[in-house]
Structure 1
Amino acid sequence: MLANRETIQMVYQVVESKGYIDIEATGSSMSPFIRDKDKCRFIPFKTTDLAKGDVILYINANGELIGHRFYKMTKNPDGVKQYWLKADNQPDFDEPVLQDQFIGRLYVIERKGRIMEPSDLGMRLWTALILNVPFVPTLLKRLADKKQYKTLSNSGNVSSIMEKINK
């Protein structure tokens, strides 16, 4: 979700006043853990409480709201902490994220009236699989691309997906 400066400020204000923010997921980068149109609640957190596998909502350098999985923290040559996140079905990491880009950590997902927490057994198993089996994100990316291709080919718009796949 692309956000302008006013929207970003509003997001921070909502989190500060309510103690959470609900965001409707768009896209498939975290599928099947988070699916398009899932309602995701993010809550504030301390970076000292951040654990590998947590899903973090942040604002990237392009002003997009992104919810991706935390993997590790490093320090750049100047000693500034950088956080490494990535989508579940992408093999590559996002650009490093700084602490001031964080909005919140995933608390619950609402899907078709059902509430799921990251601590639920199925969610924990999925997280362990994603974190520990290196080929799973690449496999998921290929499956997502095939699904997107099938959807677009049924609508007659194949050229745009072929351009994406061939990049």
Structure 2
Amino acid sequence: MNIVITEKNLSCDTQAFSAIAIDLLDAGRTLRFTAKGGSMDPLIRDGDTLFLAPADPSRIKFGDVVFFVNGGGKPLIHRVIKTQKRGKDRWLLIRGDRANNVDGYFPPSEIFGRVIAVERVGQQIRADQPVYKFLGRLAAWRSRVFSASPRLFSLIYQLIKRIPSFKHYLS
């Protein structure tokens, strides 16, 4: 993992990254780092630069991409695909867009950050842009509904990818 601190790169293992990222986010700082892995493809790709802001637990919603640490201590950037009430509490079901399995339900208090932008090939894509939000919600629905029918989702994805306003995000 690489962390940029005043224009210098810092390399560290995943446990150190988790600790540093959580400390920075808890202090109210925005974090910039390079994504590793393909579990969020195509909206977030291996090598993209991600910008994380501290997560306000009350504002995390369906379709948001969040930073959390799973039960095994691994830091992950995955999408909220469902919210569920458990008594007075709200829990978030999280899964990578390309992951085979869900990460599980987490209380919002265990979510440390939220992706606010993705930088790819020198261009920044803000996560609050309507098209990106729409694609994020579509990815969340895909994780919930189309898991049983990946061919149907693939067909829908190929059609959406041809629409000019979506090409920027998916190509």
TM-score, scaled to structure 2 = 0.68
Question: What pairs with 1:8-157 in structure 2 (closer than 5 Å)?
Answer: 8-17=18-27, 19-75=29-85, 81-90=90-99, 92-133=101-142, 134-135=145-146, 139=150
1:61-96 deviation per Cα after TM superposition (whole angstroms, max 9, x unaligned): 11111011112233558x664321111123532122
Aligned-pair Cα RMSD in Å: 2.9
> Equivalents in 2 of 1:137, 1:34: separation in Å?
23
Distance change in 2, residues 1:51/1:98 (3 Å): closer
Does the 8 A contact of 1:90 with 1:138 survive in 2?
A: no
Distance change in 2, residues 1:107/1:138 (3 Å): farther
Three-state SS of the structure 2 residue aligned to 1:41 is: strand
Does the 8 A contact of 1:81 with 1:99 survive in 2?
A: yes
Three-state SS of the structure 2 residue aligned to 1:96 is: strand
Percent of paired sites with the same residue: 21
Number of the residue aligned with 1:153 = none
Number of the residue aligned with 1:3 = 14
Distance change in 2, residues 1:17/1:50 (3 Å): closer
Does the 8 A contact of 2:57 with 2:109 survive in 1?
A: no
Which has more radius of gyration? Answer: 1
Unaligned 5+ runs, structure 2: 2-12, 155-171
Does the 8 A contact of 2:61 with 2:83 survive in 1?
A: no
Does the 8 A contact of 2:33 with 2:49 survive in 1?
A: yes
> Equivalents in 1 of 2:107, 2:23: separation in Å?
19
Cα drift, residue 51 of structure 1: 1.6
> Equivalents in 2 of 1:23, 1:138: separation in Å?
34
Does the 8 A contact of 1:117 with 1:123 survive in 2?
A: yes
Does the 8 A contact of 1:56 with 1:68 survive in 2?
A: yes
Unaligned 5+ runs, structure 1: 144-167
Distance change in 2, residues 1:15/1:136 (3 Å): same
Three-state SS of the structure 2 residue aligned to 1:8 is: helix
Q: How many residues align?
A: 140
